[in-house]
Amino acid sequence: MRGGVTMPRVAYSEADRERVRSALLATALELMARQGVQHTTVEQIYRAVGISRTFFYTFFPTKEDLIVETFYRQQPRVLAHAQRLMADPALTWREGVRQFLRDCCYGERSGIAVMTVEEQRLLFQRLSPESFRTFREKQFCLFAGLLSCFGVPASRENVQLFTNISLTAMVVRRAIPETLPFFVPEAAEATVAFQIEAIADALERMRRDP
C-alpha cells in the first residue's frame, strides 16, 4: 500500500499483454460460437482467462470492441477452412461448398461464431460510423476471398449477392423459432438444406457465366 492505494504487484510486459489479449479473443470466439454473442458475457471471458475485470477493460473498452475484434480474428480462420475443404480430394466442388455453408449455419458445432438479427442490430447501434465502415470493408474482403476460393469471379455484384444469401441462411437458421415465431420449427433443418442447395446453384451459375 502507498498513500492508501494498492499498487499493482506485476508489471506486464508487452509480450505478456499480447498473450493475454490473444487468450481473451480465443476464449470469446469459443464462447460466442457455442452459446451466441448475446449470451456471452464479459465476466465469463475474463474469468475463463484468469484476469480481473479492470485488467480486461485495459484491452477492450467495451464489449462491442471485443465482439468486433473477435470477428476480425475469425475471418482468416473461416477462409482457411474453406480452402481446406476445396483442396480435399475426397470432396467434389459442390460437396465442399455445401459442407462449408453447413459449418457456418451450424457454427456452434464447428466453432464459427455467427450473429443473430438482434445481435447485429445491437452491435450496429453501438458502432461508430468509422468502425462500421471498417467492419463492412473487412466483411467484403472475407466474402471476396471465399468466392475466389470457390473459383467464382469476385466482382462487387457477386460478392454483395453472396454475402446476403449466405448470411440469410445463417441468420434464418438461428432465428427459428425465437425471432421468427411464424416460421415452422419442424421444417427448420429442411429450410437450411434448401437454402444451401440454392446458394450452391447460384455459385455454379457464377462460375459458368462470369
pTM recorded for the entire structure: 0.89
Residue 10 confidence class, pLDDT cut points 50, 70, 90: low
Q: 63-208 has which fold?
A: Tetracycline Repressor; domain 2 (1.10.357)
Structure confidence by residue, pLDDT tens digits, 83-132: 999 999 999 999 999 999 999 999 999 999 999 999 999 999 999 999 99
Q: What percent of the chain has pLDDT over 70?
A: 94
Domain ranges of the chain: 63-208
- Indicate if the alpha-carbon torsion angle 113, 116, 119, 125 is positive or negative: positive
pLDDT digits (tens, 9 = 90+) for 132-168: 999 999 999 999 999 999 999 999 999 999 999 999 9
Does residue 103 contact residue 166 with C-beta atoms inside 8 Å? no
Cell numbers placing 46: 475474463
